Amino acid sequence: MTTRTDGRDVNQLRDIQIETDYLIHPEGSVLITVGRTKVICNATIEDRVPPFLRGQGKGWITAEYSMLPRATESRTQREASKGKVTGRTMEIQRLIGRALRSVVDLESIGEKTIWIDCDVIQADGGTRTTSITGAFVALSIALGKLYNEKGLPVFPVREYLAATSVGIVENIGVVLDLNYEEDSTASVDMNIVQTSSGEYVELQGTGEESTFSKKQLLELLEFGEIGIQQLMDVQRAALGELATKIGDKGQVTE
C-alpha cells in the first residue's frame, strides 16, 4: 500500500485553525484553515425574509460561495465577469444553506435572514466541507449576538454541525479529508455533513466514472465520523464561552 502524498495516516485530518472576529463588519466572521485551504466565512443578519416566507414569523438561512480567481493553481475566471454563477457554485451554496438550516430553530429567530458568505481565498481540496464547518461557527457567533440582544428564550442552534470529505484513492483505499491532488485522482468522493448527535444531514457520494459497494460505503462513513468529531472539537474551542450554549444532543455515536 502506498502512503498519502502529504504523509498523513488514511484517517487523519489536515491541520485545522478557526480564527474568529476575522473581519470587523460582519455579525459573525471566521477565517477557517484546513491544511492549505482557507475560507473566509461571514454571517450577516438581515431584518427580513425572502418573499416565500413572509408573514410566517420564521427565519431563513441562505448561503453564497465564491472563490478568488487565484485561489486555484491556475487562474479561474471571475463569475461576475462571466455574468453568471456556475452550476458547481450553485450546487455548493444550496448545500451550505440546507445544511445550516437543519440545526437552527428558524422559528425562534423570527423574520430574519442570515446570509452566509463563504469566500475561498486559497483552495487545496475540500472547500465546500471547510465552508460548512467554518460557516457553522460564523453563524453561531452571529446568532449569539441576536440571542443576547433580543433575549431569546433558547439559543437557536440546536446542535453542532461539521462537514468533511472522504474518498477512495487508488493504491491507498479509503482516506479522510482529501487534498486537491487526492481529490483529482479519487475514484469515489463523498461529502458528509453530520451533527454532534451523530445524525446525517447530507450525504453526497459520487463515483465519477466509477462506482462503490455498500461495504466501501460503510468504511467511508466510519472515517467520516472520526473527522467530524475532531472538527467539532476545534469548533468548540473557537466558540469559547458560546460553545456551551449550543444544545449538544449528545456524542457522536453509531
Residue stretches of the annotated binding site for phosphate: 88, 126-128
47 binds its own copies (CB under 8 A): no
Contact by Cβ (8 Å): 202, 98: yes
- Closest CB 199 distance from its own copies, rounded Å: 3
In angstroms, what CA-CA distances link 44 with 3, 96, 141?
A: 42, 15, 10
> Distance (Å, rounded) from C-alpha 210 to C-alpha 92?
22
Contact by Cβ (8 Å): 29, 20: yes
By C-alpha distance, which of 201, 198, 165, 160 is closest to 184? Answer: 165
* Nearer residue to its own copies within complex by CB, 241 or 254: 254
52 binds its own copies (CB under 8 A): no
- Closest CB 123 distance from its own copies, rounded Å: 8
| CA-based radius of gyration for the chain | 18
196 binds its own copies (CB under 8 A): no
29 binds its own copies (CB under 8 A): yes
Contact by Cβ (8 Å): 223, 174: yes
* Nearer residue to its own copies within complex by CB, 119 or 181: 119
54 binds its own copies (CB under 8 A): no
User: Which positions touch its own copies (CB under 8 A)?
Assistant: 23-26, 29, 36, 40, 42, 44, 46, 64, 66, 68-73, 75, 78-91, 93-94, 98, 101-102, 106, 115, 117, 119, 121-122, 190, 195, 197-214, 217, 221, 254
